[in-house]
Each structure stands twice: as C-alpha cells, then as structure tokens.
Amino acid sequence: MDIKDNYSPGLEGIPATQSSISNMDGKQGALFYRGYPIEELARYSTFEEVIFLLLSGELPTAKNLTSFITKIKKSYFIPYYVQQVMEGLPKSGSSMAALQTGVSSLGVSSNNYSVYDLQYNEAFEIAIKIIGSIPTIAALWDRATRGQDFTPPRSDLSVAQNFLYMLHGKVPDSHISKILDICLILHAEHTINASTFATLVTGSTLANPYSVISAAIGTLSGPLHGGANEQVIKMLTEIGSPKNVTPWLDTQLQKKQKIWGFGHRIYKVKDPRAKILQDLIAQLIDQKEDKVSQILEIAFTLEQEMADRMGHKNIYPNVDFYSGILYTELGIPTTQFTPLFAIARSAGWLAHWLEQRSDNRIFRPTQIYIGNSLQSYTPLDKR
C-alpha cells in the first residue's frame, strides 16, 4: 500500500496512543472520565476529586482526598521570583502567553532533576504542584493588567473559590463558586485533542514537565481550540440583538463563514457538556432572580435558528457556545476565558503525562513529500 493511501490531514481519525483516562461516544453524546459519566461527576463530585480521579485512575477515599487537597492548596503559593517575572511582562500582552511564561518560569528552579530518574510518586507530586499553581499565575496576571495589587491565595478555599477570590479580591458566593467548580470539571479532560496531543509529543521527549504543560498551553491558546468561547462572545456582541440573528446567520451561511460554538469533530449530537452548562445558566438566572440578558437571548435565538437550518447536518452547540456566556454572567473577564480552560485542562494534560511515562515512545511521524524532484545546484554568479 502506498503511503499516500494512509494520509489523513491533521491526523484525523488516526490512533496515536492508548489511554484509560477518558472516552466519548459521538453518536450518543456521551463523555466519561475513567468510566464515570460526566453528568454524574458534574452533579456529585468536586474538581479536586476529579483531579485525583484523572491522575490516579480511581475515586479517592475521604482520607486520601483530604491529604490530596492539602497538597493542592500548598501549591497555590508560587515562588516570589515567578511573581516578579509576571509583573515584569508588558501588560498589553496575551493572557495565554503570560500564563505560558509563568508556568515555564515555575520550572526553572526544578531543572536540577533528571526526568530519566523521576519516580512515579515524584512525578505525581509535580503534577499536583503544577495544577495548584496555574490558577494563581492566571489571577496574578489579570490583576497586574488592571493595575491592581496581587491578591495572595488562601489555603482555606477550593480551587474554584480561590481563583474567584484572587480575581475579584473577595470570597465568592457559594453558589457561584459551585457553578465554576462544575465548569472546571467539564473542561478537565477530553481525550486526545490538540493540546493533549502537544502534551504527549513534548512529554515523549522526556522534556521537563513544566515545558510539557507550557507546550500544551501554547496549543490551547489558538482560537480553533481554547479561544473559541471568547470568539463566541465577540460573535454574539456583533449580532447585537435577537432580531438581528436571522439576517446575520443568512449572511454567514451564504458566505460559508464559521459559526463559533457550533459543530464538533466527534459529537454528532449536542455536546453533553453544553447541556450541563445551559442548565447552569438557568440556575444562575433563577439564583440572581434576574431577567435573561440580551447576550443570552441572542444565544438562545441563534441556537434555535441553527437547529432549524443545520441540525440535519449534525451541527449543534459545543462546550464553547455556552461556557463563555456563563463566565460572562459570573463576572469573569473575557481575557481569562482561555486561562480558565487551562486551569481545568491541566488535570487531564498531567494525567496523560503520567500515563505516558509507563510506556513511552518518542513521537516520530512521517510525511508525504510534495516538493521538487532532484535538482542541480546553480552557483550564485550564474543565476
């Protein structure tokens, strides 16, 4: 068989690894972490428990979870030199570029160990340290860009509570922090997506784990991956009003332009995470005893219009369509949407990093050459 017969642009559908961490059913719209349905984890679990599940492969006992959470909370407190690095960056810079820099700098003092000699327990501890540090780095940068002093983390708060506290300078309402906690669970893992693949490729070289996660953050920063929910808000703002949805959509479809927040490579029905996020938005509206915002009205109208026109093509809302809307309702700045994604997905990235270490092989794909055939070199003075 000719190598060209195996060519799949973007490696779509090509198995690149084996994993026991998560799986999904695109036809049924189902997602599982270690075999547990995402709906059950979102309803009954916490982000900290899900981190443990993803990293270790099993749900923790009460004793194990308490010890695990204590370690995460210790990791909230980053070295002072990392704070200096972040505060020294141009404040007009990208939030994801800053986060990537922060994580890389976090690993500078950890380069004195050999990844070859790193034992599983040591790797597990490093994973906890990275996961616990990312929210602090993200919040530190947000405060710096707004000209505000850094709000140090508090060890008595959960990951979700602590991020909102560092962001806004006050302890959030328990209902608000629970909603964010569920959002973190929904974004914690999603099989071999682009950023997870970057984790595997970089990790396969036995690079420093901080460099591994830095590579994943860089991959996530692209609008076709982590930045999509930010594009959704821009799109809905551009539409401006529910009455503008129909003519706007007519124009977009006619021009074959992308409708942000719709469609998925795997799911052929509505993304199960989008369903949960939509329910959370409804709960938030009830809790705030508030009318539906115009952004939400536009979103609901657009979803209905898309269902009528594109449902037959299995194009439905994905997780990005409602996550940005929900974050906006929670008062989270648009610039923090993708860093928040990284806070959650760091759990999945590091679970894959730990898993890969047990049976590692460096990635070395091949290519199909489409360049010139053999040519003779012409000296510069004869060209």
Exposed/middle/buried for residue 244 (C-beta within 10 Å: 0-12, 13-18, 19+): middle
Residue 344 token pair: 């959650």
| 217 touches 99 (CB < 8 A) | yes
Question: Whole-angstrom Cα distance, residue 215 to residue 252?
Answer: 33
Evaluate whether 125 touches 71 at the Cβ level (below 8 Å): yes
Q: Which residue from 163, 155, 167 is spatially nearest to 74, judged by alpha carbons?
A: 155
Q: Is 264 an active-site residue?
A: yes
Of the residues 142, 264, 271, 352, only one is catalytic, namely: 264
Q: What is the Cα–Cα distance from 118 to 210, expressed in whole angstroms?
A: 14
Residue whose entry in the numeric block shows the structure tokens 């860009």: 145
* Residue 218 structure tokens: 């860089």
Choice among 181, 271, 320, 352 that is catalytic: 320
CA 33 to mean position of chain CA atoms: 15
* Cβ-based neighbours of 48, under 8 Å, separated by 6 or more: 65, 68, 69, 72, 158, 159
In eight-state DSSP terms, residue 307 is H
CB 168 within 8 A of CB 182: no
DSSP-derived letter for residue 262 is: B
**∠163-168-170 over CA atoms, to 5°?**
90
Q: Is residue 369 exposed (0-12), middle (13-18) or buried (19+ Cβ within 10 Å)?
A: exposed
Catalytic site residues? 264, 320
